[in-house]
């Protein structure tokens, strides 16, 4: 158990819908990262937050957004969902100055 929690574990929805994925980092970790793992794109970095502020952005679609709340949990919002958004979404957290990211179990999103 990495100490990073993600909910829900599985999500099945239809095209055009909007979903929210939630992540709670390890206690004390200020950095949260979101990654997408799909068959055609592999493992890709989406976005990073540090202590409530956006720190870095990767290949995140405009239909996707994220935020980190004062209690440091983070949410990834995916809207106008398309079939190609079906993927495993990972959240990871890390401590500043430390060289390891701890991954949550992931949320499996299926868009029908």
Partner 1 sequence: AQTVTQSQPEMSVQEAETVTLSCTYDTSESNYYLFWYKQPPSRQMILVIRQEAYKQQNATENRFSVNFQKAAKSFSLKISDSQLGDTAMYFCAFMKHDLVYGGATNKLIFGTGTLLAVQP
**Residues in contact with 94: Cβ distance below 8 Å, sequence separation at least 6, in sequence order:** 29, 31, 33, 100, 101, 102
For residues 24 and 94, which CB has a smaller minimum distance to partner 1 in the complex? 94
The span from the CA of 79 to the CA of 81, in Å, is 5
Q: Could you say which of 31, 36, 68, 74 contacts partner 1 (CB under 8 A)?
A: 31
Contact positions with partner 1 (CB under 8 A) in 55-94 = 56, 58, 88, 90, 92, 94
Residue 93 per-residue DSSP state = E
**Interacting residues toward partner 1 by CB under 8 A:** 2, 31, 33, 35, 42-45, 48, 50, 56, 58, 88, 90, 92, 94, 96-103, 105-106, 108
């Amino acid at each position: 158990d990495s100490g990073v929690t993600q909910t829900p574990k599985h999500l099945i929805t239809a095209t055009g819908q909007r979903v929210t994925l939630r992540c709670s980092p390890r206690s004390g970790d200020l950095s949260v990262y979101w990654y997408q793992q799909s068959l055609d794109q592999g493992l890709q970095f989406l976005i990073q937050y540090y202590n409530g502020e956006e720190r870095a952005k990767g290949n995140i679609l405009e239909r996707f957004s994220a935020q980190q709340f004062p209690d440091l949990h983070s949410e990834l919002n995916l809207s106008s969902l398309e079939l190609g958004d079906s993927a495993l979404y990972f959240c990871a957290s890390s401590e500043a100055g430390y060289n390891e990211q701890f991954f949550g179990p992931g949320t499996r999103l299926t868009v029908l």
